[in-house]
């Protein structure tokens, strides 16, 4: 009879890790967490992923899709668990992707957003200091274009860059600005290798259905297959600089391989309205009179909106050699095709 293996899942693999570089990722169940785990695994890293909750609904999917990940149970709001996570994973690199990341949700849950998206970063940086990992591990902080705001007095011009003014327009944006500055402060104060990536919107097949791009491509697939008639959205005029998540996680890794810690914008340098996204997504399935499939509802509109985001990635291109491979049309097409495939199977 086979001996029962009651080793806690979070410790499995640690003893077998050998000399491979180790990376700890928070936000492992999210869009970027999946892309990054895959990339680091391909590069030969031992990947550790932080999973929260006593019964996380995404655990099974995570274990099935990425059996190589060493899961560590911890939460960004619980510093003791973060100290344990650092000591268990012994990381060379830490990627802090965990956050309340949905802008609309942050308006409805501002305090939770502050606890996780802002103070969670402080908790993790302190966990590194307490354990001596401030000098042993490099740290990536997931900053965001939502820190800029897109207001009249602060229009992006040829694109927001690392020196542009910040004016966040949501509890999410404000929390991320705290996170951005505390990360920079720890770099300046303690000489830690901390790089921040100011990333503009990036999407793909793993994007959550609560974000507008995936909500649209999922609906387009269902409408094409006759499973749904309308998609109900908020404002259609805001403009975003949308890239592909696979390209952006490569940039995160490049930031931590650079000689010096620094701040980098990753963006495409193009901006498109939600209307343009809709038109292109429906065109992929041959629907041109798409407006008859779209409804609007105030519940999806925000108390304060970011009108326009446009990024200037020239520093990352020049210094890191970062280059995006997927353009806007390519992004929309691959997302619709993926959702057609999924909807066709269900
Ligand atoms: P996402 O899909 O929403 O993933 C967020 C992750 O954070 C999930 O894995 C979630 O875990 C985790 N998380 C939430 N609360 C936590 C807590 N208390 N402790 C530990 N983990 C927690 O986000 P994403 O699109 O991959 O983005 C990754 C990061 O980049 C985020 O910080 C986001 O704010 C930032 N960012 C994203 C974009 C973009 O366009 N995607 C652009 C700029 C910056 P659960 O599954 O347990 O909820
Ligand atoms: O909204 C509008 C909405 O929620 C995009 C996050 O990854 O990128 C993301 O934040 C736009 C906004 O992304 C719906 O009002 C209309 O103008 O897809 P979104 P976001 O708010 O830009 C940044 C860079 C991040 O850092 C964030 O973590 O679309 N919109 N109708 C809608 N948005 C949603 N979600 N749902 C709608 O029905």
Report the distance separating Cα 170 and Cα 104, nearest Å. 8
Please indicate whether residue 76, judged by its CB atom, sits closer than 6 Å to ligand 2: no
Residue 116 CB–ligand 1 contact under 6 Å: yes
Q: What is the pLDDT of residue 18?
A: 53
> Is 288 noted as a catalytic residue in this protein?
no
- Nearest ligand, CA of residue 31? 1
SS3 state of residue 221:
helix
Output the CA 124–ligand 2 centroid distance in Å: 27
How far, in Å, is the centroid of ligand 1 from the Cα of 30? 5
Nearest residue to 280 (alpha-carbon basis) of 345, 229, 331: 331
Among candidates 219, 236, 327, which has minimal Cα distance to 277?
236
Q: 10 Å Cβ neighbour count for 227? A: 11
List, by residue range, all CATH 3.90.25.10 domains of the chain.
212-238+272-308+334-345
CA of 235 to the centre of ligand 2 (A): 10
Specify whether 144 is catalytic. Answer: yes
The predicted-structure confidence for 77-133, as pLDDT tens digits, reads as follows 999 999 999 999 999 999 999 999 999 999 999 999 999 999 999 999 999 999 999
**63 is known as an active-site residue:** no
In a 3-state reduction of DSSP, which class is residue 197? strand
Residue range 22-204+242-269+310-324 forms a domain whose CATH class is alpha beta
pLDDT given for residue 19 in this prediction: 84
Domain 212-238+272-308+334-345 has CATH 3.30.2310.20: no
Helix (H, G, I), strand (E, B) or coil at 11: helix
Ligand 2 mutation pick, 234, 248, 308, 311, max ligand atoms within 8 A of CB: 234
Q: What is the pTM of this model?
A: 0.95
Per-10-residue mean pLDDT of the chain, 346 residues long, equals: 37 52 98 98 98 96 98 98 98 98 98 98 98 98 97 92 98 98 98 98 98 98 97 98 98 98 98 98 98 98 98 98 97 98 89
| Residue ranges in 203-306 assigned as alpha helix (H) | 212-224, 245-257, 274-284
Please, where in the chain does CATH 3.40.50.720 lie?
22-204+242-269+310-324
Measure the CA–CA gap between 16 and 195, rounded to whole angstroms.
30
Instruction: Please identify which of the residues 95, 133, 172, 186 carries the catalytic annotation.
Output: 172
CA distances from 35 to 25, 32, 76 (A): 11, 5, 20
The finding on whether 230 has its CB within 6 A of some atom of ligand 2 is no
Strands (E), 245-332: 263-266, 272-273, 294-296
Ligand nearest to the CA of 202: 1
């Amino acid at each position: 009879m086979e001996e029962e293996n009651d080793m806690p899942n979070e410790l499995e693999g640690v003893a077998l890790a050998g000399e491979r570089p180790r990376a700890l990722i928070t936000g492992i169940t999210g869009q970027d967490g999946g892309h990054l785990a895959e990339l680091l695994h391909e590069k030969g890293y031992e990947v550790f992923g932080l999973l929260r909750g006593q019964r996380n609904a995404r655990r099974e999917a995570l274990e099935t899709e990425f059996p190589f990940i060493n899961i560590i149970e911890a939460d960004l709001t619980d510093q003791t668990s973060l100290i344990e996570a650092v000591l268990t994973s012994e990381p060379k690199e830490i990627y802090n992707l965990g956050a309340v990341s949905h802008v609309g949700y942050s308006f409805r849950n501002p305090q939770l957003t502050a606890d996780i998206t802002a103070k969670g970063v402080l908790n993790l940086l302190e966990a590194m200091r307490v354990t001596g990992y401030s000098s042993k591990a490099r740290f990536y902080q997931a900053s965001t274009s939502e820190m800029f705001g897109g207001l009249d007095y602060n229009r992006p011009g040829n694109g927001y860059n690392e020196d542009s003014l910040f004016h966040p327009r949501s509890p999410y944006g404000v929390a991320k600005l705290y996170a951005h500055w505390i990360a920079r402060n720890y770099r300046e104060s303690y000489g830690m290798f901390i790089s921040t990536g100011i990333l503009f919107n990036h999407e793909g097949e793993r994007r959550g259905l609560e974000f507008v791009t995936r909500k649209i491509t999922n609906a387009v697939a269902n409408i094409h297959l006759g499973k749904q008639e309308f998609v109900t959205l908020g404002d259609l005029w805001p403009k975003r600089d949308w890239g592909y998540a696979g390209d952006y996680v490569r940039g995160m890794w490049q930031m931590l391989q650079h000689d010096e810690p620094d701040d980098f914008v990753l963006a495409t340098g193009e901006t498109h309205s939600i209307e343009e996204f809709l038109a292109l997504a429906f065109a992929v399935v041959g629907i041109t009179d798409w407006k008859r499939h779209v409804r609007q509802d105030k519940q999806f509109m925000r108390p304060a909106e970011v009108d326009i985001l446009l990024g200037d990635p020239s520093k990352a291109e020049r210094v890191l050699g970062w280059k995006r491979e997927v353009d806007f049309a390519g992004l929309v097409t691959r997302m619709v095709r993926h959702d057609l495939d999924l909807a066709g199977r269900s």
